[in-house]
Structure 1
Amino acid sequence: MGIEVMNYFTYHDLKKENKQGFTAGEKPLTEESLVVREMVIPGMAGYPDMYIRHIEIIFEEQQYLLISMTDYELDEAKTLEISIGAAKFLKARSQRN
C-alpha cells in the first residue's frame, strides 16, 4: 500500500492580524506531515480565540485539505462560502501554471 498524498492550502480570516485569504501549501501532505488538528486556541493578550477547522475539497479530481484559521466558529453557510472561494482560488492557480 502506497503513501496517500494530499495537497493542502490555508484560509485565514483573522481581523486583529489583518490576515485574510487563501495561501497554497508548499508541498503535498504525506503520512509523515504534521498538520494542526482541529481545535480552538484560546485568545491571549487581547487576541480573540482562533478556530482551526479542516475542510476537504475535491477539485479537478484531486483531493485537497483546506485548513481554515478564523477568529469565529464556522457555520454551514460560511463553510460553503469558503469552499466556493477555494474552488475559485484553485482554478486561478491552475490557470497560472
Structure 2
Amino acid sequence: MSTTEALPLAGIRVIDYSHFLAGPYLSRCLAAMGAEVIKVERPTTGDAGRQHACFVNGQSGYYLQQNMGKQGLCINLKDPRGLELMHKLVDTADVF
C-alpha cells in the first residue's frame, strides 16, 4: 500500500476501555488499520498490562507493544465529571 492510500479504518474512532490481553490486542489491530483509538484507563492502577514482565526503561514492554498507535487518557468514572467526560467520548465514537 502506498503512503497516499487511506488505511481501511481511517476516520473510525474507537474508545478502548479494555485491559490486558484480548482487548488491547484487538484495539491495537484497529489502530494499525487506521482507526483513531483512545485508550481510557482507571486512575492509580491503569491497565493491568502495565505490570506485565519484560520492562524497558521502567515500563512494561508488553504494555507498550499492545498500546502503540493509541492515544491515552485516564478517567475516574467514580467522579461525576469523569463519567460525564466518558459519556461525551462515547458519543463521538463509532466503536466502544
Q: TM-score normalised by the shorter chain: which range applies?
A: under 0.3
Structure with the higher helix share, 1 or 2: 2
- Structure 1 or 2: larger strand share? 1
Q: Normalising to structure 1: TM-score of the pair?
A: 0.25
TM-score, normalisation: structure 2: 0.25
Greater relative contact order (CA < 8 Å, ≥ 6 in sequence): 2
